[in-house]
Amino acid sequence: MADNRPEIRPSIRTPRARVSGLGPAHHGTREWWMHRVTAVSNVPLVLAFVVIVALMAGRPYPEAAALVSHPLVAILLILGVLSVTNHMRMGLQIVIEDYVHDKGLRIAAVIANNFYCVVVAVACLYAIVRVSLRAFA
């Protein structure tokens, strides 16, 4: 049943401004758009990753490391890792927010999800940087 009582405190904000961003998860469409943007950016970045891996197939380590040490290749791999791990983090967070109903468990799961995605991203970035810089040594 709707509460039709008048507002006790006067406000200069419009009714739309008072309810802006107060959806079921208490945030607006920013996360939805970011999830779609990372999904679209993942397409060319994952295709580039597949091409890079195909070019490295069957090559000895020094040749593969030389390929990864090329600046364009390293930048594509780094962008791919950042985009994919961010997309993964947002996707898992959506699942957690939708299906974990206990507030404490939900907060713990979101924190664990963020921590896991950061660890995966840092490990991948470390590997890319280490391999790409070692080729110069």
Query: pLDDT tens, 76-98?
Result: 999 999 999 999 999 999 999 99
The amino acid that residue 89 corresponds to is R
b/e map of 62-91 (b: 16 or more CB within 10 Å)? Answer: eebbbbbbeeebbebbbebbbbbbbbbbbe
What is the pTM (predicted TM-score) of this model?
0.76
CA distance 76 to 43: 12
Q: Residue 112 pLDDT more than 90? A: yes
Give the pLDDT confidence of 22-68 residue by residue, as tens digits: 555 555 578 888 999 999 999 999 999 999 999 999 999 999 999 99
For residue 13, what pLDDT is reported? 74
Q: Residue 71 pLDDT more than 60? A: yes
